[in-house]
Amino acid sequence: MTNTHAAIEGSERKPLPGAVATGPANANSTIEVSVKLRRKKELPPLTKRPDTVMTRAQLRDTYGASQADVDKVVQTLGTFGLSVVRADTASRTVRLRGTVSAMEAAFQVKLFSYSHANGSYRGRVGAVHIPVALQDIVQGVFGLDNRQVARRRRQPIRDNSNARLASVSSAWYIPSQLATHYNFPAGDGTGQTVGLLEFGGGYFPSDLQQFCTLANIPTPPTVTPVSTDGTPTNSKDGAEGEVMLDIEVVAGACPKANIVVYFANWSEQGWITILDAAVQDQTNNPGVLSVSWGSPEDTDIWTSSAMEQINQTLQDAAQIGVTVCVAAGDDGSSDAVTDGQAHVDFPSSSPYSLAVGGTTIPTKGSQQPDIVWFEGDGLRADNGGSTGGGVSTVFPRPTWQSAITIQSVNPGSIAGRCVPDLAANADWNASPYLLVVDGQSQPNGGTSAASPLVASLLTLINAGNAAGKRVGYVTPLLYQSSTGGSGAGAAGCTDVVSGNNDTATAGGYSAGPGYDAASGWGTPNGVSLAQALAA
């Protein structure tokens, strides 16, 4: 490259395995990129839940980007023909628009069209470069490569018969039954807002109305769809089951809570955009976010610069008292990667996430503990499924997990962040959730159902707290106690001691007494957890 530009650390890209370049990207087509800027001041490290939470204004004014940096980015990149779409100091983001040829000149990259079995994409190879005048200011550029990063969980079973159109099998669970099983505190979520992050599909009021009828909910909750980047909020693209599952779980457990559904493209840029929008949303002000999507953390799917920026935004959420529940994955210890090694899913592996694993309820109505969710061979590709969980190869073990001695099954791996933090019902067959999608009622499950269920529990706990007081960055409290006793995980969860998630050649993780990397601290006992968090 020329001496006019410098590489952005962690921006390197390779083609997806199996991808074939079909030619240069159309030089005259117009695209948009999101440019992430440095903070005015670095956020302090979080070794525990903050003693006091910041307001969004405090976060922006102290730890956002400076207006001078924004102006310099806009001016410098404007000389290449890029125009500003919007700029925001709070999220440290400048969104720019320009032709492919202008982008290639501005960032010293070559963009190609790639064909791939999972979908065509616009991609690049190597690093993104930034003009040297901006090398200390710009931390990442996202949107040049738009390959799919967000991976859906297990898909609904399509059944075109009329048998399931308006019925609920006695074997299925509606959320209120799961609330009873996990001893949720009383309440309906009045005054609270839950945010759901989606990368496809759409919200369909008729499906929610049918679900509420079947689940004995008199009035559907208020649902507000928000497109954060122009992505449609009503697509029937095969992902609508994922969206409706998230909405219906929350609607069934917190029927009076407001539900905001954020939509974005499934690329790295989409992740950047949607998290910024949800965390900085002063209008809807969600207290809990639930994310049912992700991808393995240590493959060619993610760039390390994107993971770093997403992790920083999750840290922003922790600072302002927003809990982010993230599904731990549905393919066991391998996370559906076929290299033989164990992998964990990102962003559930972020230390600022509350990672939610999956369990099976052995017998409906029984008081016996859940077991680790593992169906068939544990892989969705084979019509199975099992909980994600294990040890991160990217994020070091946080201070609040220092007492956890679990080692990775991968030889020579670091002592990384362990996931999940807790777990809840996810079994598609033995203890399935009711889902209504595309006018049909059917069984469903996965950690993508467990995550909004746990988000609903925390929403009820927030509703029972003093006005404005939220559990916020709750994850450290599961492991730590300010009084020197056991953390809230041991005090507020029912231990899961049976089962494993072994789907990788290298091995997996088994449940056992206390914390484990298959079920975390176990399944929540809602009332006990609320009491432990209050203490």
| Residues recognised as catalytic | 242, 246, 448
* Per-residue CA distances from 516 to 300, 331, 372, 421 (Å): 28, 17, 11, 9
Which residue(s) pair with 444 in the sheet? 433
* Per-residue CA distances from 4 to 7, 34, 186, 314 (Å): 11, 21, 62, 33
In eight-state DSSP terms, residue 173 is B
Q: Kindly give the pairing relationship between strand 193-198 and strand 288-291.
A: parallel
* Per-residue CA distances from 470 to 256, 463, 529, 534 (Å): 17, 8, 14, 10
**Sequence letter at residue 65:** A
* R_g of the chain, CA atoms, integer Å: 22
Q: For 514, left (φ over 0), alpha (ψ -120 to 50), or beta?
A: left
Which residue(s) pair with 494 in the sheet? 523
* Per-residue CA distances from 520 to 490, 492, 525, 529 (Å): 10, 12, 14, 14
Q: Kindly give the pairing relationship between strand 323-327 and strand 354-360.
A: parallel
Which residue(s) pair with 305 in the sheet? none
d(CA 393, CA 397) in angstroms, rounded, equals: 10
What SS3 string covers 219-238?
A: CCCCEEEEECCCCCCECCCC
The token pair at 369 is 């503990």
d(CA 503, CA 519) in angstroms, rounded, equals: 15
Q: Kindly give the pairing relationship between strand 493-494 and strand 440-444.
A: unpaired
Task: Evaluate whether 515 touches 486 at the Cβ level (below 8 Å).
Answer: no
